Amino acid sequence: MLEGLINVFKVEELKRKILITLSLLIVYRTGCFVPTPGVDTFALSQFFEKISKTQGQTLLGMVNLFTGGALTRLSLFALGIMPYISSSIIMQLLTAVVPALERMAKEGKAGYEKINQYTRYLTFFLCAVQGLFLSLWLENPNNFQGIIIVPNPGLLFKFITILTLTCGTVFIMWLGEQIQERGVGNGISLIIMASIISRVPSSLHQLWLLWSPFDASQRQIHTLTVVALLALWFAVVMAVILFTQAQRRIPVQYGRRVVGRKVYGGQSTYLPIRVDTSGVIAIIFAQSVILFPATLATFLPQKIRFMSFLQSVLQERGLWYNLIFMILIIFFMYFYTAMVFNPVEIGNNLKKYGGFIPGIRPGKPTAEYLDFVATRIVFVGALYICAIAVLPNVIMHIFKVHSYELASFFGGTTILIMVGVILDTMRQIEGQLLIRHYKGFIKEGTLKGRR
């Protein structure tokens, strides 16, 4: 591993790409501290801190996690890259159900560029809508228990907020594309990981305050608990690495074809089906759905809070919360897999090019077999995602850690994103090293990313 890191800086082009990537990430993190005009950022941050202590994690808290705390300051990048991710997921799902987009996706690079352009337009629209509703929410003191967040509300404030937040997200999207083209790694994923990593020092500081090693009277958790949490963190990281790279390899054999004097085919290969098909998409969708009622009830007037019971149940993060959460994760895992994995199309392609699975007839039987295997593989992946997703809630109950931000450091979406992005980036760097005949990060074999 150390030799691989040394080799990285021996390749001039690779060193330049890494420096460009780090520079653009620094630009992104700098913009997270530039406030939007017309907002009392101190009062807003105090409000977010209060609701995080009294109501646990809400939908706004999850968005704030992915923006690296930019939402609490309502900075230029308060919306983060989430509108672009939402647009990408929507376009990906529409491509699977809209015939025109499906044909466009099969056109190759030209079709991809058209779909990517539509994704940008949809991102711009989502940013404008979210900016409008966010400005309306900020202008109303009743949403903040009488605290005035916007001293001078009005049409001008709405226009400036929409323009600022939309331009901020578009700029982040441009940064991600620049990292993709000129740097190393997936730009959008690295931006999200930078936001999550920025919250790590705060989590470690909370753990230090709870532990209080130099003042036993202020200690809230025992030293053995800290050791157990650190051991659990290493175990979770190892499990995430294992399942991220785990795949079921279905053997595929191609028959020989004689064209003139040449013989084509006859080789054996395999069709990989990943255990974790959806990555973090399923858990993000499930979190958004389960946190939406609690977040909505928070901002409704006391008289019409018809979801107060549901809100209290979800905020307790007990049995019912975890059960509903896991059911939603399993549902979205199968839903997303059905959108991106088409066994009928794969079976037809294998038959078209003379490929077959040993022991399985080509055509419809092959499609049924692939569907049979994928259904069971996805269920294993869904159970793994469920275990990682509910781990922060289990830590909060067993180890008496009352901060969800600290508990999420040991599991949940943050671990999945950080480990997955790091593996993808290391895989790309290792590929550059192997091309130039340098050793990679591991002695035997190569790293496999999430794709």
The pLDDT tens digits for 11-37 are: 788 888 889 999 999 999 998 888 888
In the predicted structure, residue 163 carries a pLDDT above the cut 70: yes
d(CA 382, CA 330): 5
Do 278 and 153 belong together in one domain? no
Domain extent, residue 100, equals: 1-198
Among all chains, which residue has been given the structure tokens 């987009």? Answer: 101
- Tell whether 420 is covered by a domain: no
On whether both 169 and 242 belong to a single domain, the answer is: no
Question: What pLDDT score was predicted for residue 3?
Answer: 66
- What's the distance, CA 274 to chain centroid? 17
Confidence grade of residue 4 (pLDDT, cut at 50, 70, 90): low
Quick one: 148 and 279 in the same domain? no
pLDDT in tens, 351-395: 887 888 888 888 888 889 999 999 999 899 899 988 888 888 888
pLDDT at residue 263 in the model: 64
Q: Are 203 and 56 in contact (CB under 8 A)?
A: no
Confidence (pLDDT) at 439 = 61
Average pLDDT over residues 280-296: 73
Mean pLDDT to the nearest integer, 91-116: 83
Buried b / exposed e along 79-108 (16+ C-beta atoms within 10 A): bbbbbbbbbbbebbebbeeeeebeebbeee
- State how far the Cα of 185 lies from the Cα of 438, in Å rounded to an integer: 19
Sheet of 247-254: strands edge to edge? Answer: 268-274, 247-254, 355-356
254 and 391 assigned to the same domain: yes
- Do 228 and 140 belong together in one domain? no
Residues 240, 129, single domain; the answer is no
Residue 390: what residue type? V
Q: How far apart are the first and last CA of the chain?
A: 22
Same domain, 178 and 229: no
Beta-carbon count within 10 A of 398 CB: 10
Report the chain's mean pLDDT, rounded to a whole number.
81
421 within some domain:
no
Return d(Cα 123, Cα 169) in angstroms, integer: 8
- Nearest C-alpha neighbor of 84 from the set 124, 117, 26: 124
280 or 76: whose pLDDT is higher? Answer: 76
Residue 204 token pair: 């470690």
Q: Are residues 238 and 385 in the same domain?
A: yes
Contact of 346 with 370, CB cutoff 8 Å: yes
Q: Are residues 377 and 255 in the same domain?
A: yes
Residues 232 and 191 in one domain: no
Q: Would residue 120 count as lying in a domain?
A: yes
Q: How far apart are CA 46 and CA 72, in angstroms?
A: 8
Residue 142 tokens, joined: 């009743």
- Sign of CA pseudo-dihedral 342, 343, 345, 350: positive
Domain co-membership, 148 together with 226? no
Residue 411: DSSP 8-state: S
In a domain, residue 447? The reply is no
> Do 36 and 120 belong to one domain?
yes
Q: What is the CATH number of the domain that holds 239?
A: 1.10.3370.10
CB 332 within 8 A of CB 389: no
- What residue spans of 341-363 are helical by DSSP H? 343-352
The single-letter DSSP state of residue 106 is T
